[in-house]
Amino acid sequence: MHYRNLQIADHEDLIVLWRNCDGISLRDADSRQGMQKYLERNPGLSFIAEVDGRIVASLMAGHDGRRGYIQHLAVDPEQRNQGIAGRLLEHCLQALLTQGIVKSHVHVLNSNQPGRDFWSRRGWVHRDEIEMYSFINGDNENT
């Protein structure tokens, strides 16, 4: 298993991985251009795991200067239950900490029970006192 920073050149392989993972919702923001902007804004915070040169897991992260945001933690179904996701998360949280970010959030689809279980087992706290609202500036409803 090899871990490294996610790069824009990984985009096509990541789309394939994400489409094969339940609980990952793809939007226009996941386009190559959207990912490039995200990686430029948040350098050194997104990671992948590879086996024999093939991407088997990913985790993207960024921050707003105060809070970290974890996105697209995905592990190939055939590679699950080996601790890959936990190691990617450790890399990410350490990278956020070096930038002064000590608190992070993750959005998990209600229907993604394995994802909800993963975060709960690691001590992440479900927040039921807040609700998320979104606004799309323009006519693109998939952003």
Kindly report, residue by residue over 17-62, the tens digit of the pLDDT: 999 998 898 998 999 999 999 999 999 999 999 999 999 999 999 9
Rg (CA), the chain: 15
Query: Domains along the chain?
Result: 2-121 (3.40.630.30)
Q: What is the pLDDT of residue 141?
A: 53
Q: What pTM value is reported for the model?
A: 0.88
- C-alpha neighbours within 13 Å on the C-beta side of residue 79: 20
Q: What percent of the chain has pLDDT over 70?
A: 97
Q: What is the pLDDT of residue 132?
A: 86
Give the confidence band of 139 by pLDDT, cuts at 50, 70, 90. low
Segment 53-104, tens digit of pLDDT: 999 999 999 999 999 999 999 999 999 999 999 999 999 999 999 999 999 9
Q: Report, as an integer, the average pLDDT of 107-111.
A: 90
User: Comparing C-alpha atoms, which of 46, 43, 51, 48 is closest to residue 1?
Assistant: 51
Contact 6, 58 (CB under 8 A): yes
CA distances from 128 to 9, 119, 131, 132 (A): 38, 15, 7, 10
Indicate if the pLDDT at residue 124 is higher than 90: yes
